[in-house]
A and B are shown apart, each in its own frame.
Chain A
Amino acid sequence: EDQVTQSPEALRLQEGESSSLNCSYTVSGLRGLFWYRQDPGKGPEFLFTLYSAGEEKEKERLKATLTKKESFLHITAPKPEDSATYLCAVRGSTLGRLYFGRGTQLTVWP
């Protein structure tokens, strides 16, 4: 059974306090690991796709990395506007399927 686990469930950071979110996964034949950001009352917004261990992607204060069993979303010097729920999803060999984690709710206070 494919599974995605995100930790922590919630994270509170002071502005400028860097940290990492974790996404661990078990999937047959990884076809991609995806990070999304979701603001309250809105749909998930695509951030990154990672395909193979060792790969890294960056966007502004966010950096995503991938190993064979987990991915990290590093947030450097976060700002209050980075507050959101961050979702991780993986696609395995089953056509069309994305398996989502439950998300990490990030709050950055001034």
Chain B
Amino acid sequence: NAGVTQTPKFRVLKTGQSMTLLCAQDMNHEYMYWYRQDPGMGLRLIHYSVGEGTTAKGEVPDGYNVSRLKKQNFLLGLESAAPSQTSVYFCASSLRYTTYEQYFGPGTRLTVT
């Protein structure tokens, strides 16, 4: 049982390049989330999904897109990377109901130059 895994662990992009971050969970969780963590800002929700085929915007969705084609996977895309998107990105998942705790992946450190 690997829990929540993220690919890649590190990435460096140039401004304007695109990339996709992959999150996978093997706990059969319904809900999945993407956060970014910046120094002094805490964790902020980018997008989330309450089930396969559904997505919704969080606090800071601009510049990101997501897809949840399979229940176990949640993809985060950057179409045209900007230096302001330099951050550590965390994926999380939780069981169906809103009161359940979220379990986090190990994170992806992204640098945009």
Write the residues of chain A forming the contact surface with B, with a CB cutoff of 8 angstroms.
Answer: 31-32, 34, 36, 41-46, 49, 51, 87, 89, 91, 95-98, 100-103
Given contacts A31-B98, A43-B90, contact A98 B103 (CB under 8 A): no
Tell me if A46 and B98 are in contact (CB < 8 A): no
Tell me if A44 and B50 are in contact (CB < 8 A): no
| Contacting residues, chain A, for B58 (C-beta < 8 A) | 97
Cα–Cα distance between A32 and B102 once the two chains are bound (Å): 12
When the two chains form the complex, which single residue of A32, A42, A96, A100 contacts B48, counting CB atoms closer than 8 Å?
A96
* Nearest-neighbor residue (CB-CB) of B104 within chain A: A43
Tell me if B102 and A98 are in contact (CB < 8 A): yes
| Contacting residues, chain B, for A101 (C-beta < 8 A) | 42
Given contacts A95-B50, A96-B31, A96-B56, contact A44 B43 (CB under 8 A): yes
Given contacts A31-B98, A51-B99, A103-B42, contact A96 B106 (CB under 8 A): no
Cα–Cα distance between A51 and B4 once the two chains are bound (Å): 25
Residue total for B at the interface (Cβ-Cβ under 8 A):
24
Instruction: Quote the shortest CB–CB distance from A60 to chain B (angstroms).
Output: 18
Cα–Cα distance between A44 and B92 once the two chains are bound (Å): 9
Given contacts A96-B48, A96-B56, contact A46 B42 (CB under 8 A): no
Tell me if A44 and B42 are in contact (CB < 8 A): no
Given contacts A42-B106, A43-B90, A101-B42, 4 further A-B contacts (CB under 8 A): A32-B99, A43-B106, A96-B33, A97-B58
Tell me if A95 and B102 are in contact (CB < 8 A): no
Q: Chain B 1-45 against A: per-residue CB contact (8 Å), 1 yes, 0 no?
A: 000100000000000000000000000000101000000111111
Tell me if B90 and A91 are in contact (CB < 8 A): no
| Contacting residues, chain A, for B92 (C-beta < 8 A) | 43
